[in-house]
A and B are shown apart, each in its own frame.
Chain A
Amino acid sequence: MSEAVSALKAAEFTGGIAEVTLMDPIGMISVRGDLTAAYMKKALKKAVGLGLPDTRSVQINGDRGVAWMSPDELLLLCPYDQVSDTIDMLTKCFGSNHTLAVNVSDARAVFRISGAHSRDVLAKLAPVDLSPATFTPGMIRRTRLAQVPAAFWIEEGDSFRLVCFRSVALYVYDLLKIAAQPGSAPVFYSAKP
């Protein structure tokens, strides 16, 4: 198998109001079907060891996870080299039921935004209420980042994980760099009371 390479080579931005890092490729599987079905729950348990996530929520279990994307769509996370095995397992669990599991790992780019002002950086780019009271750990938000679709969730503390399409990885990286440039802190969400 060819070697997996991230969308941009070793992209890391430091020295601004937040750190932006392009992550190594992670395994992502798009699952579409009836989320409430019993076989779906069984398949999730087997593939990622987690149950069905609530609406708009993400569950992480070590290097595996499952995110709610829409009323009939989930995004499964797993190590990059285990995608094929996980899809085989899912397909076996789905049987003849009308459900789809597709490897989308290479169609995506993954970023980490960390630092005290990470909420401010994202709030500059997405039409989302990112106040700590409203956007809490365990939530996933599909939205737009300036002109392109993206989704993000809180990894831990003030560190965000963001996924976007691989084809717009450079655009998103540039956006995040500009939004995180030194001296641009709006002191809004991160303001001390």
Chain B
Amino acid sequence: MLTLTCPNCGITAEETEFHAGGEAHLKRFGPGSSDTEFEQYLFMRDNPKGVHFERWRHVYGCGKWFHAARDTMTLEVFGTYTAQTSTVPQDIINKIMDRRPDWQASTAP
């Protein structure tokens, strides 16, 4: 079970108080984009064994969205950060590098 800290209200709770919102930092392709781009945006998702960036919502608490960086295999949570960003903050990348020196920071969105 994951234990997440909501950066909006500061509450640390287990995952049943939250709701998962899928992969984070997707770039939207809407009207005017090519079929391939739209398909990529709509359906194609990463499914890594290891470091993953996700959207979560504190659904039973403050109701706000945030981002989380975690390991899909060990369920280790590296950190949570604001939803008002399209890239991963440097301090989160540093935390991941501390724990997973082999991880390629260049693959972060």
How many A-B residue pairs lie within 8 Å, measured between CB atoms? 35
| Residue contact B17 to A127, C-beta cutoff 8 Å | yes
Q: Tell me, yes or no, whether A46 is within 8 Å of chain B by CB.
A: no
Q: Tell me, yes or no, whether B22 is within 8 Å of chain A by CB.
A: no
Q: How far is the CA of A141 from the CA of B61 in the complex (A)?
A: 8
Interface of A: prevailing SS: strand
User: Contacting chain A: which of B5-13, B71-79, B96-104?
Assistant: B5-13
Q: Restricting to A44-68, which residues have a CB under 8 Å from any CB of B? A: 55-56
Say yes or no: A128-B60 contact (C-beta < 8 A), given A70-B8, A71-B8: no
| Residue contact B9 to A71, C-beta cutoff 8 Å | yes
Closest-by-CB residue of A relative to B62 is A70
Q: What's the least CB distance linking B75 to chain A, in Å?
A: 16
Q: How far is the CA of A142 from the CA of B10 in the complex (A)?
A: 12
Q: How far is the CA of A180 from the CA of B72 in the complex (A)?
A: 38
Number of chain A residues close to chain B: CB under 8 A: 13
**Of B13, B16, B60, B62, which is within 8 A of A71 by CB?**
B62
| Residue contact B16 to A144, C-beta cutoff 8 Å | yes
| Residue contact B9 to A144, C-beta cutoff 8 Å | no
Q: Tell me, yes or no, whether A182 is within 8 Å of chain B by CB.
A: no
Q: Restricting to A14-70, which residues have a CB under 8 Å from any CB of B? A: 55-56, 69-70
Q: Tell me, yes or no, whether B63 is within 8 Å of chain A by CB.
A: yes
Q: Tell me, yes or no, whether A149 is within 8 Å of chain B by CB.
A: yes
In the A-B complex, the 9 residue pairs with the closest CB atoms: A70-B62, A144-B60, A142-B61, A127-B14, A149-B60, A71-B8, A143-B60, A127-B17, A70-B63
Could you give 28 example pairs across A and B, Cβ below 8 Å?
A55-B9, A55-B10, A56-B9, A70-B8, A70-B9, A70-B61, A70-B62, A70-B63, A70-B64, A71-B62, A71-B64, A73-B62, A73-B63, A127-B13, A127-B16, A127-B17, A128-B13, A142-B60, A142-B61, A142-B62, A143-B13, A143-B17, A143-B60, A143-B61, A144-B16, A144-B17, A144-B60, A149-B60
